[in-house]
Amino acid sequence: AQSVTQPDIHITVSEGASLELRCNYSYGATPYLFWYVQSPGQGLQLLLKYFSGDTLVQGIKGFEAEFKRSQSSFNLRKPSVHWSDAAEYFCAVGLKTSYDKVIFGPGTSLSVIP
């Protein structure tokens, strides 16, 4: 069965430090991959997505993610975190058999220390 795992339930980083959020998926083929962010009291916002081609994907708010087929991973990175980045981050898999069938991971909560 298809699944998405985010090994880190909660991460704390200092403002200005670099960030990497991990995501692994289980799927028989190359899926479509997404990262969403959810700020308190707000809906999910798409940060970036990967369909094919260049495995390094640039997104909004200075985020990027790299697809590594050999590791079944799609880790999210940011070189310098801002206090406003504190939020819940969700990795998601879009199944090719039905694109809009998106499966979300459990999320990683990010705290930023001033």
Partner 1 sequence: EAGVVQSPRYKIIEKKQPVAFWCNPISGHNTLYWYRQNLGQGPELLIRYENEEAVDDSQLPKDRFSAERLKGVDSTLKIQPAELGDSAVYLCASSRGSGKRDTQYFGPGTRLTVL
Contact residue for partner 1 among 12, 18, 26, 45 (CB under 8 A): 45
Give the count of residues interacting with partner 1 (CB under 8 A).
Answer: 25
**What count of residues does the chain have?**
114
Q: Which of 58, 101, 111, 113 binds partner 1 (CB under 8 A)?
A: 101
60 contributes a contact to partner 1 by CB under 8 A: no
- Of the candidates 1, 29, 41, 97, which one interacts with partner 1 according to CB under 8 A? 41
Query: DSSP states of 31-90 as a string?
Result: -EEEEEEE-TTS-EEEEEEE-SS-SEEE-GGG-EEEEEGGGTEEEEEESS--GGG-EEEE
Nearer to partner 1, 8 or 15 (CB): 8
Please state the closest distance from residue 106 (CB atom) to partner 1, in A.
Answer: 5
The region, left, alpha or beta by phi > 0 then psi within -120 to 50, assigned to residue 61 is: left
Return the DSSP state at 8: -
Rule CB under 8 A: is residue 104 a binding residue for partner 1? Answer: yes
